[in-house]
């Protein structure tokens, strides 16, 4: 990769003023879509992504149904206005791949055996894209699944780490993704301590890979706290206020 400018300045600040171990601002609003069984809107840096979960419900087409478990279906889609140049609304190969890895990163956390012959649909719509949209999407999707009351083993939190100016940083932004050296999205179940998504674009040595993986998981743990808070706020927010009043 050709680096035209330094992405980390001499004070260790990144292009958006963050340190190497700092996440962008994250806000999760639970239950944003009234018609959905579960939903969440995530604002992750400049990403704006809305996720709606429908199900468990009857499977259409019927031949997709499984006798012993529920079918999880996932659609990651970018709105035409979400990017600098208009995105063709037809699903791209990139979106099909992301839909697949997203489904595979969520599935280990769900107890699908509890809902045989049914389907759960997860719709992830990127309204505004800013690098790291798959991680933000997975993060919001697992909150939406919890909001839908689906039986879960754990929550899935996602965060990327990568290499920028030969330093390992967490939560790569758009500029760092395009101009930096490596991008490694990771999804992690914090209680089961297992990795459910791991991808890498770019060059890392073995030591850098180990560091990247550890730092990404550290990021996932921070993301998890925000997921947890957002759910508490929706389901226990008023009770907590009541307790404080008493």
Report the alpha-carbon distance of residue 166 to residue 123 in Å, rounded.
Answer: 36
Among 94, 221, 229, 238, binds another protein (CB under 8 A): 94
Minimum separation from the CB atom of position 96 to another protein (A): 5
Minimum separation from the CB atom of position 85 to another protein (A): 8
Minimum separation from the CB atom of position 246 to another protein (A): 42
User: If binding is defined by CB under 8 A, does position 93 make contact with another protein?
Assistant: yes
3-state secondary structure 96-107: HHHHHHHHHHHH
User: If binding is defined by CB under 8 A, does position 12 make contact with another protein?
Assistant: no
Q: Where are the alpha helices (DSSP H) in 66-111?
A: 93-106
**What CA–CA distances, in Å, run from 118 to 46, 72, 76, 107, 161?**
35, 9, 21, 15, 36
Sign (positive or negative) of CA dihedral 77, 158, 216, 11: positive
Minimum separation from the CB atom of position 182 to another protein (A): 8
Report the alpha-carbon distance of residue 121 to residue 129 in Å, rounded.
Answer: 22
User: If binding is defined by CB under 8 A, does position 88 make contact with another protein?
Assistant: no
Residues 160-199 within binding reach of another protein (CB under 8 A): 184, 189, 192-199
User: If binding is defined by CB under 8 A, does position 138 make contact with another protein?
Assistant: no
Of 21-29, 169-177, 203-211, 222-230, which part binds another protein (CB under 8 A)?
203-211
Q: Where are the alpha helices (DSSP H) in 19-81?
A: none
User: If binding is defined by CB under 8 A, does position 203 make contact with another protein?
Assistant: yes
Place of tokens 């999804």: 187
In this structure, how many other beta carbons lie within 10 angstroms of the beta carbon of residue 201? 11
- Are 143 and 49 within 8 A, CB to CB? no
Residues 57-86 within binding reach of another protein (CB under 8 A): 64, 66, 68, 85
In this structure, how many other beta carbons lie within 10 angstroms of the beta carbon of residue 237? 14
Minimum separation from the CB atom of position 92 to another protein (A): 10
Residues 214-233 within binding reach of another protein (CB under 8 A): 214, 217
Binding footprint of another protein, residue count (CB under 8 A): 37
Among 20, 23, 200, 222, binds another protein (CB under 8 A): 200
- Measured in whole angstroms, the distance separating CA 20 from the mean position of its chain's CA atoms is 20
**What CA–CA distances, in Å, run from 2 to 81, 113, 164, 169, 178?**
29, 49, 12, 18, 10
| 234: exposed, middle or buried (Cβ count in 10 Å: 0-12, 13-18, 19+) | middle
Which of 41/220 has CB closer to another protein? 220
Minimum separation from the CB atom of position 79 to another protein (A): 20
User: If binding is defined by CB under 8 A, does position 237 make contact with another protein?
Assistant: no
Residues of this chain that bind another protein (CB under 8 A): 64, 66, 68, 85, 93-94, 96-97, 99-101, 103-104, 107-108, 184, 189, 192-206, 209-210, 213-214, 217
């Amino acid at each position: 990769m050709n680096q035209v400018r330094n992405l980390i300045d001499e004070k260790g600040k990144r292009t958006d003023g963050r340190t190497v171990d700092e996440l962008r601002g994250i806000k999760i609003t639970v239950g944003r879509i009234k018609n959905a069984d579960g939903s969440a809107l995530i604002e992750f840096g400049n990403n704006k992504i809305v996720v709606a979960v429908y199900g468990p419900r009857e499977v259409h087409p019927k031949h997709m149904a499984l006798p012993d478990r529920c079918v999880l279906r996932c659609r990651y889609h970018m709105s035409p206005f979400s990017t600098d140049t208009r995105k063709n609304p037809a699903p791209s190969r990139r979106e099909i791949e992301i839909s697949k890895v997203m489904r595979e990163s969520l599935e280990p956390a769900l107890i699908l055996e509890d809902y045989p012959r049914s389907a759960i649909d997860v719709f992830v719509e990127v309204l505004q894209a800013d690098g790291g949209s798959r991680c933000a999407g997975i993060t919001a999707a697992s909150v939406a699944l919890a909001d839908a009351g689906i039986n879960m083993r754990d929550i899935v939190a996602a965060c990327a780490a990568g290499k920028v100016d030969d330093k390992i940083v967490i939560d790569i932004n758009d500029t760092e993704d395009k101009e930096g050296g490596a991008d490694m999205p990771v999804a992690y179940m914090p209680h089961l301590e297992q990795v459910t998504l791991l991808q890498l674009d770019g060059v890392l040595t073995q030591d850098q890979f180990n560091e990247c993986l550890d730092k990404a998981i550290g990021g996932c743990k921070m993301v998890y706290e925000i997921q947890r808070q957002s759910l508490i706020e929706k389901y226990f927010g008023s009770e907590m206020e009541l307790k404080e009043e008493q």
